[in-house]
Amino acid sequence: MRKTILGNNGPEVSAIGLGCMGLSFGYGPAADKKNAIELIRGSYEMGVNFFDTAEAYGPFTNEELLGEALAPFRDNVVIATKFGFQDGVASKGVDSRPERIKRVAEESLRRLRTDRIDLFYQHRVDPKIPIEEVAGAVKDLIAQGKVKHFGLSEAGAQTIRRAHKVQPVTALQSEYSLWWREPEKEIIPILEELGIGLVAFSPLGKGFLTGAIDADTQFDKSDFRNIVPRFQKENREANKTLIDTVRAFAEKKNATPAQIALAWVIAQKPWIVPIPGTTKLHRLKENVGAAEMELSTADLNEINDAFDRIEVIGDRYPEALSHMRLVFPNSPISTVSSKNIQH
């Protein structure tokens, strides 16, 4: 798989990474450990060298899984993990006190079976702690050799700029896909200005853009999509036009809807890296195949023109939940809190 540099001075990563959250929780029961390790190692064999986890995924179990799976080739991969929640539990709220950040780093190093974290993100901005203090804490960890690069997740433009002055931000992680393009308004321009990479989570719209979900799909009771407005039955039906459009284009390109959705993200900027997650080997192969697709300017214009005429129905997070502040304060949903929503 071809590689790209994440930001101006970041690590060299595969064009598509692997988001590992769903292997432990969030989208139903955790995957069987043996199968999960086989999938992670299989992705490495397919050329993936960029793996995303967090202390809050599980909590803790996802880091442990990744540490075991990647141990045989640790020096050949880039591992990203995150800090920022009280006791590593999202439902308890944010906590980015410098002393907490440094403790998380030590605990994550142990669980990941490594001596350094390649990319250490603040999982969500903590309004109680100045971002300069957060950046300073990570700067200390970098000076100690425990962390290689600093990242932010779902942070706003001014937060990014302030943090970057203290410790250069290598990457911002944010949701970005054909059905969530809000980062294009303000975030992507500032990332380009500052030379920061974008790691796109949920590049397949939490599965919707694969075409495998319709109005009749039944999610497991532990699947957080049960409380996501966009995944309410009536909204899935209303958004059918969106996936029909992707599917029609995919057929013309002899590809799958998922491959078109991923190839579109990759084509936006050379420093944007999607990290789709999956628990199935055939889906992994499908996703990896998107890295080899070439979308021409005409292809991109056709896709963009079609999607500009489609209104996506339903918010991306529940409105009633409020402690995990998101990057886009002026969007319909600016906050979210749930024990099951941690991305």
247 against 315, higher pLDDT: 247
* 204-259: pLDDT as tens digits: 999 999 999 999 999 999 998 999 999 999 999 999 999 999 999 999 999 999 99
**Cα 338 to Cα 63, 137, 233, 322, 343, distances in angstroms:** 20, 27, 20, 8, 11
| Residue-range domains of the chain with CATH | 3-207+257-295 (3.20.20.100)
The one catalytic residue in 44, 57, 121, 317 is 57
* 30-55: pLDDT as tens digits: 999 999 999 999 999 999 999 999 99
- The answer to whether the CB of 53 falls within 8 A of the CB of 63 is yes
Is 44 an active-site residue? no
- SS3 category, 148: strand
Q: Does residue 303 carry a pLDDT above 90?
A: yes
Global model pTM greater than 0.85: yes
* 159-209: pLDDT as tens digits: 999 999 999 999 999 999 999 999 999 999 999 999 999 999 999 999 999
* 261-302: pLDDT as tens digits: 999 999 999 999 999 999 999 999 999 999 999 999 999 999
- The answer to whether the CB of 243 falls within 8 A of the CB of 206 is no
- ω before 130 within 30° of 0 (cis)? no
Residue partners of 181: CB distance under 8 A and separation at least 6? none
Chain-centre distance for alpha carbon 169: 16
* 65-89: pLDDT as tens digits: 999 999 999 999 999 999 999 999 9
